[in-house]
Amino acid sequence: MLTYLAKRILYVLPVALGVSLFCFLLVHIAPGDPLTSVLPPDASQQMQEEIRKLYGFDRPLPVQFGLWLWKAVQGDLGTSIATGRPVAAEVWRAVGNTLLIACLATVIGFVLGCFFGFVAGYFRGSFLDKFASMLAVLGVSVPHYWLGMVLVIVFSVQLGWLPPGGAGPGGSASWKWDWEHVSHMILPAITMSVIPMGIISRTVRALVADILNQEFVPALRAKGLMDFGVFRHVVKNAAPTALAVMGLQLGYLLGGSILIETVFSWPGTGFLLGNAIFQRDLPLLQGTILVLAMFFVGLNVLVDIVQGLLDPRVRRR
């Protein structure tokens, strides 16, 4: 098991290096200049060159990458060009904020997705199936941005029930678990939950349909089990896959959504990424992508390890 563990962790290194090199190159290939966010537009090219030197952007790319990587392995993701604040602190704060709404969105998505999926799968072909499937398709295909704005118009502007944006009356730094703050999470979390809801619902529907076709189901019925008892067995069989899919969705949601977080001014990773992109803030962009990518890599390693623990065949591969 230890060898397996060591192997999995060793595999992380080339992935991490690849991700950092890829995101470094990507942001340099993209059009635009990191100094755009720093300099007033009327700064001449000469002035631009002067400032470029001050920031070290005149050095060859491999040198810039090497320096950045050297600091990154020591936990220093540099400082934002636009704000001068340390990137690591900004990213962790944003990850924390996104976790809040991502977890709530996961719960909403999972509960509703499973409910619609089980109903649709169990009553396949019925009106209930069609209705639940329609909701699932809607969830996957409705544009986030649009849904977010509609929810704001209805629940914030017209009804005045929920706040339209922000992370609480005093911002995320003074977050408290009271209604005044939690109410700010609801609309972004609902908007964020519709895609996982749709995906889970469709997955569970297919799973349930598949399980219902297996031989043990008629056997259960033959033994005299009523509908509810059979349904319980179906749920038990479908749960692990549904959970795995949900785990994956949580991973996606952690990356935040640029559009949702912008519509709701939620200070999470999506909002941060959006800002970094528009301001061409390279260190912030690189740092955010790297941390998010490492989250995915870390989650994968964790899943591998858990799988290895549960199934000895995986360890032997």
Q: What gap in Å lies between CA 171 and CA 174, rounded to an integer?
A: 6
Query: Which residue, 4 or 55, is less far from other proteins as judged by CB?
Result: 55
Interaction site with other proteins (CB under 8 A): 31-33, 35-51, 54-55, 79, 82-86, 90, 149, 152-153, 156-157, 160, 163-167, 170-173, 262-265, 267, 271-272, 274-275, 278-280
> C-beta of 9: minimal distance to other proteins in Å?
34
Collapsed DSSP state (helix, strand, coil) of residue 160: coil
Residue 152: partners with Cβ closer than 8 Å, 6 or more residues away: 164, 165, 187, 263, 264
Residue 108: partners with Cβ closer than 8 Å, 6 or more residues away: 189, 190, 193, 197
Query: Which residue, 163 or 287, is less far from other proteins as judged by CB?
Result: 163
Query: Which residue, 99 or 212, is less far from other proteins as judged by CB?
Result: 99
> C-beta of 158: minimal distance to other proteins in Å?
9
Contact 91, 287 (CB under 8 A): yes
> C-beta of 156: minimal distance to other proteins in Å?
4
> C-beta of 75: minimal distance to other proteins in Å?
17
Residue at token pair 């810039």: 64
> C-beta of 184: minimal distance to other proteins in Å?
10
| Burial bucket for residue 72 (CB in 10 Å: 0-12, 13-18, 19+) | buried
How many residues in total does the chain contain?
A: 317
Query: Which residue, 82 or 132, is less far from other proteins as judged by CB?
Result: 82
Query: Which residue, 145 or 295, is less far from other proteins as judged by CB?
Result: 145
Contact 187, 155 (CB under 8 A): yes
Query: Which residue, 175 or 231, is less far from other proteins as judged by CB?
Result: 175
> C-beta of 112: minimal distance to other proteins in Å?
25
| Burial bucket for residue 173 (CB in 10 Å: 0-12, 13-18, 19+) | exposed
